[in-house]
Structures are given as structure tokens and as C-alpha cells.
């Protein structure tokens, strides 16, 4: 028994750190402190020659730390598992080498680590591959809260229900979702805007829909008339918020009158 304990591997600490949606000053104090203290920052990017959006967000707040290693990891922007899986195996191998040296490693990710994040797969694999490893999650500003803030749209109050869905995967179910929820946040809308506009118009919800791209980033854009952009090449970092208000304010005594209105 003692022999088994003696030969048991130990690892450095692993962090999953959310860096938010674009503005460096939206990083939490905890995120900045951890990123300045770890031995290694794992930085995801889409290819060997691409810059990392997550590091572009974090680096102004973190600065240059003497002796710290930056470990760049490539993850292709595709849903093809035959390409994604080998990329992850390579990345996990590089991360394991660092952790086996008992060095701390922080994997940075846009938004929040546990919300539609690249980090999630690492989190799922870590405890299976490296038993006993200590993991800490550092939450970040999520895309849907950033979009709501820049568009000044309350997400929900009182008895309202909220749905968050990737638009390009859920168009077939969208009419039912639109009828069942009070606020619907449609992520990754860039490739389906014409179809999305048609559905929203058919459901009578165009006037309470807002398009936001690059929330809190440079070149942020907010558009209240989706027909103006339905045929444009919309940005990858884009979202549509559909905000109905029939049940908003009920806990404050609001009546059941129709309060659906175009946001200001």
C-alpha cells in the first residue's frame, strides 16, 4: 500500500480562467491575480499563425511576468471531430508535461470557462487523465450578460423565463422556443441571419429583437432593425436578443397589458 502511494503521480494545479468578452478591464481581480502568479498560461488559438482572442483580452491586464511560460495550443474552428480530437490530444499532451513538473497552469478562455467554452473539454478530461489533480475555476463575464449590458436590456425579472441557444443549431425548434420563453438569447447568429429574420418576422418579434456584435470589444455594433443587416456578413462574435415583456414587472403589480416594445 505504501509502495502504491509512493509511486502515485502528483501534478501542478490547473486553473480554468474566464477572461470575459473583450474589454480587458472586465477581467476579475481574481483572474488577473492568478494569471500573474501561475507558472504557465495555456493560450488557445485557431491555428499556428492566428492570434489568440483570449490572450488579446487578457494580456493588457496581466502584463509581462518574468519567468512565466506561454503555451500556445491550436484548436481548428470546425465541428469535424476527425480534426478536433487530434488537436485536443496534442494539446492535452503539452498540458500534461507542464503539470507533471508540478507547475501551475492556467487555461484562458473567452467569456466564462463553463459556458460554451473551449475549456470545458479540458475540464472533463483532467480528472480522468490526472487523478487527484487540484482544479480551480475562475468565472468570467459571459457573452450573454455582456450583450445585455451594452444594449441596456434586462434579461429577466420576476416570473420570466430565459433560453440561451446557439442559433445555427436550433432554427428548427426556434418558433416553439420563442413562444415558450420571455427572453431568448441567440448565440452565433452570423451564418443564419436571413433565416432568423424570417422566423422572427413570422412570429411578430422583429420589433423586440436586437443584434449585437463584439460586445465590449473595439468595433462593437448594436442594430435594432435586423432587416438592415440580414444579408450582411455578420461578425462571428454576434448575438440576437429577443426580449418580450408581457410578464415583466408582475411582482411589482404590473398589469397584463401588452408591454412588448422596441428597446430604446
Helix (H), strand (E), coil (C) string for 206-253: HHHEEEEECCCCCCCEEECCHHHCCCCCCCCCEEEEEECCCCCCHHHC
- Grid coordinates representing 174? 426556434
What local confidence, expressed as pLDDT, does residue 156 receive?
92
Q: Among the CATH numbers 3.90.550.10, 3.40.50.720, 3.30.950.10, 1.20.1250.20, which is that of 143-252?
A: 3.30.950.10
Quote the pTM value: 0.87
- Grid coordinates representing 183? 427572453
Residue 44: Cβ-neighbour burial (10 angstroms; 0-12, 13-18, 19+)? buried
Instruction: Find the mean pLDDT for residues 214-218.
Output: 92
- Grid coordinates representing 3? 509502495
Residue predicted with more confidence, 78 or 117: 117
What local confidence, expressed as pLDDT, does residue 221 receive?
93
Distance of CA 118 to the CA centre of its chain: 8
What local confidence, expressed as pLDDT, does residue 254 receive?
59
**CA 60 – CA 19 distance, rounded (Å):** 11
Identical fold between 2-138 and 143-252: no
**Sorting pLDDT into bands at 50, 70 and 90, what band is 246?**
confident
Instruction: Find the mean pLDDT for residues 192-221.
Output: 94
In contact, 31 and 55? CB cutoff 8 Å: no
What local confidence, expressed as pLDDT, does residue 233 receive?
76
Would you identify the CATH topology of the domain 2-138? Answer: Cobalt-precorrin-4 Transmethylase; domain 1 (3.40.1010)
**Sorting pLDDT into bands at 50, 70 and 90, what band is 236?**
confident
Supply the mean pLDDT for the chain: 89
**Sorting pLDDT into bands at 50, 70 and 90, what band is 252?**
low
In contact, 67 and 131? CB cutoff 8 Å: no
What local confidence, expressed as pLDDT, does residue 253 receive?
62
**CA 236 – CA 49 distance, rounded (Å):** 19
What local confidence, expressed as pLDDT, does residue 232 receive?
75
Does the pLDDT at position 257 exceed 60? Answer: no
Give Cα separations from 246 to 85, 155, 255 (angstroms): 45, 13, 9
- Grid coordinates representing 181? 420563453
Q: What angle do CA 234, 235, 237 make, to 5 degrees?
A: 135
Instruction: Find the mean pLDDT for residues 181-208.
Output: 93
Residue predicted with more confidence, 248 or 32: 32
What local confidence, expressed as pLDDT, does residue 237 receive?
87
- Grid coordinates representing 141? 463575464
Which sequence spans correspond to the domains of the chain?
2-138, 143-252
**CA 69 – CA 40 distance, rounded (Å):** 5
**Sorting pLDDT into bands at 50, 70 and 90, what band is 168?**
confident
In contact, 186 and 203? CB cutoff 8 Å: no
Does the pLDDT at position 109 exceed 90? Answer: yes
What local confidence, expressed as pLDDT, does residue 181 receive?
96
Amino acid at each position: 500500500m505504501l509502495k502504491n502511494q509512493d509511486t502515485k503521480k502528483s501534478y501542478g494545479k490547473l486553473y480554468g480562467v474566464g477572461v470575459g468578452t473583450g474589454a480587458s478591464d472586465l477581467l476579475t481581480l481574481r483572474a488577473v491575480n492568478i494569471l500573474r502568479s501561475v507558472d504557465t498560461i495555456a493560450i488557445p488559438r485557431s491555428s499556428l499563425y492566428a492570434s489568440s482572442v483570449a490572450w488579446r483580452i487578457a494580456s493588457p491586464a496581466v502584463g509581462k511576468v518574468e519567468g512565466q511560460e506561454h503555451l500556445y495550443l491550436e484548436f481548428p474552428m470546425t465541428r469535424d471531430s476527425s480534426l478536433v480530437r487530434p488537436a485536443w490530444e496534442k494539446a492535452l499532451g503539452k498540458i500534461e508535461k507542464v503539470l507533471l513538473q508540478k507547475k501551475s497552469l492556467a487555461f484562458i478562455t473567452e467569456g466564462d470557462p463553463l459556458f460554451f467554452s473551449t475549456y470545458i473539454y479540458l475540464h472533463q478530461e483532467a480528472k480522468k487523465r490526472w487523478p487527484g489533480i487540484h482544479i480551480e475555476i475562475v468565472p468570467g463575464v459571459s457573452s450573454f450578460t455582456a450583450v445585455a449590458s451594452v444594449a441596456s436590456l434586462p434579461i429577466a425579472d420576476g416570473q420570466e423565463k430565459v433560453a440561451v441557444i446557439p442559433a445555427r443549431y436550433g432554427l428548427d425548434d426556434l418558433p416553439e422556443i420563442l413562444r415558450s420563453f420571455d427572453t431568448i438569447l441567440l448565440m452565433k447568429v452570423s451564418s443564419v441571419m436571413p433565416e432568423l429574420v424570417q422566423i422572427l418576422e413570422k412570429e411578430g418579434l422583429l420589433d423586440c429583437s436586437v443584434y449585437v456584435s463584439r460586445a465590449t470589444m473595439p468595433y462593437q455594433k448594436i442594430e435594432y432593425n435586423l432587416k438592415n443587416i440580414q444579408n450582411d456578413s455578420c461578425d462571428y462574435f454576434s448575438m440576437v436578443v429577443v426580449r418580450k415583456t408581457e410578464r415583466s414587472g408582475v411582482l411589482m403589480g404590473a398589469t397584463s397589458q401588452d408591454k412588448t416594445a422596441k428597446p430604446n
